[in-house]
Amino acid sequence: MASTGHVLFDESGQPFIVLRDQDKEKRLTGIEAVKSHILAARAVANTLKTSLGPRGLDKILVSPDGDVTITNDGATIMEKMNVDHHVAKLMVELSQSQDAEIGDGTTGVVVLAGALLGEAEALLNKGIHPIKIADGFDLACKKALETLDSIADHFPVNDRDMMIQTAITSLGSKIVNRNLEHLAEIAVDAVLSVADLNEKDVNFELIKVDGKVGGRLEDTILVKGVIIDKTLSHPQMPREIKNAKIAILTCPFEPPKPKTKHKLDITSTEDFQKLREYERETFEKMIQQVKESGANLAICQWGFDDEANHLLKRHDLPAVRWVGGPEIELIAIATNGRIVPRFAELSTAKLGSAGVVRELSFGAAKDQMLCIEECPNNRAVTIFVRGGNKLIIEEAKRALHDALCVIRNLVKDDRIVYGGGAAETACSLAVSEEADKIPGLEQYAFRAFADALECIPIALAENSGFSGIDALTELKAKQIESKNARLGIDCLSTGTNDMREQKVIETLLSKKEQISLATQVVRMVLKIDDVRVPDDEGQM
């Protein structure tokens, strides 16, 4: 048997074995390493390409535990793909960066990066140095961003109907597209409820998206308040409390325990009775402190036992137990209350208030949730998603997240471009025209960048069942002839290529971020020229 290592000794004389793995690895350097990276990245991008656009296909993803996810949300697909190759992981992080920063366009950014790398490979085969290609792509990216600025339209932020159309563009490619308008209206109203239009800022912490299996997608509602998946602790407590004064507690309803280790010996019935009496008095004192503050509802982060529950009912103090930390914070924000860590600190000034707190019942099983409405801080809202099964609800939540992000981006920057590949085609034509003015080798990279931008309209056309090259050639001819940057691929066969008429709108922030991020990642990949890979490692 061949030796796979040798023995060394540490400073105390203990032996340890150093394994030799070099014989199982091969080292790639120079252009070969770059081409290896490009191949891995393009494999990931090609997987995602078929999910682009309103006719894009969905992916079914099965986790190691057997959980099934069906989605065409780029960030979700990338996150759940099991990739080992380091550059493939870079593509996963690319989609996550787009999702974190912009929230939409996660598929497009990966497809564009893959196309740029494909064009870079062709230039490498011509003998052009990777740094020259990367520099050319950077210059071309700058030109593309300038073109986007020049073709952008200003969006009327006060026009709710136009905002709904933008949300519909985002939702159009999702599973939930049969309820487009209803969900788009909910997304717009949710963002406008929490938006600060003067500061051009949206606090997403104030929007909670919750879901419950049962009912139909059409039953999804927007609640101007907070919904929590809890019920009142005692079945005989009132199901509805009007003009609620809420004590928000993070201290448990139980007798305080000694701080040090302790042992309690109960040797007689009297001792046991005294302990019971002490506990009851402690509970009643706590309840009295809550009631003296003026509260008529207690929401507690911790649980309490049946005796405390019985005493709460007897003293007519409705209570909710085991409410999670994030929900406690949201309730405090919505009701203008303060979170109280000790009963001794409870006072009238720290109570939250709400117009009505009621239990909602759902479905045949009569599942119940608590709804806190008519809060003084009306900027806290909850989107309550319904659906026939968990898959539909999870996909609806992802789709709503994208739509919420689109509306938030419009509040931040009210400029828009038109979808359907219209903006990419306009940028491609402008970059291609600029290439003729570049004297050096970078002009090859300029033309390659222009060709890569065309991958988006081609993918949209192919996913809609058209010939990609024919549709692109026709689109470019129309844009050049009419000098109209609103013309795109008619994916839904409506009879017009004008995306303004089709109301297919994208935010300028999203489009600029897509092109910038894709270019940055391509530059990073082109600059890695040394890597060790196991002999048996695939490209992904």
Among 432, 519, 529, smallest CA distance to 135 is for 519
Cα gap 513→492, rounded to integer Å? 26
* Non-local CB neighbours of 524 within 8 Å, separated by 6+ positions: 90
Domain spans, the chain: 26-154+418-534, 158-219+382-413, 225-377
Q: Which pLDDT value is given to residue 116?
A: 92
Kindly give the pairing relationship between strand 195-196 and strand 201-202. antiparallel
Give tens-digit pLDDT for 158-167. 778 888 888 8
Cα gap 62→67, rounded to integer Å? 6
Out of 402, 414, 490, 498, the active site residue is 402
pTM of the model: 0.77
Among 240, 237, 189, 187, smallest CA distance to 406 is for 187
Q: Which pLDDT value is given to residue 141?
A: 92
How many helices (DSSP H) and strands (DSSP E) are in the chain?
17, 21
Query: Is 306 assigned a catalytic role?
Result: no
DSSP 178: G
On the question of pLDDT at 527 being above 60, the answer is: yes
Q: Which pLDDT value is given to residue 439?
A: 79
Q: Which pLDDT value is given to residue 6?
A: 64
On the question of pLDDT at 190 being above 50, the answer is: yes
Q: CATH homologous superfamily for 158-219+382-413?
A: TCP-1-like chaperonin intermediate domain (3.30.260.10)
Query: Is 494 assigned a catalytic role?
Result: no
**Domain 225-377 coded CATH 3.50.7.10:** yes
Out of 47, 50, 106, 169, the active site residue is 106
On the question of pLDDT at 538 being above 50, the answer is: no
Query: Is 169 assigned a catalytic role?
Result: no
* Non-local CB neighbours of 500 within 8 Å, separated by 6+ positions: 418, 486
For domain 26-154+418-534, the CATH class is mainly alpha
| Residue type, position 473, single letter | T
Query: Is 201 assigned a catalytic role?
Result: no
**What band does 537 get if pLDDT is binned at 50, 70 and 90?**
very low
In this structure, which long-range contacts are made by residues 238-242, counting pairs with CB atoms below 8 Å and at least 24 apart in sequence?
A: 238/318, 239/358, 239/359, 240/356, 240/357, 240/358, 240/359, 241/296, 241/297, 241/318, 241/356, 241/357, 241/358, 242/355, 242/356
Kindly give the pairing relationship between strand 68-71 and strand 59-62. antiparallel
Out of 107, 382, 425, 507, the active site residue is 107
What does the pLDDT average to over 483-487? 85
DSSP 149: H
Give the three-state DSSP class for 459.
helix
Decide: 59 and 68 in contact? Cβ < 8 Å: no
Q: Which pLDDT value is given to residue 1?
A: 41
Share the mean pLDDT of the chain. 83
Out of 73, 99, 104, 414, the active site residue is 73
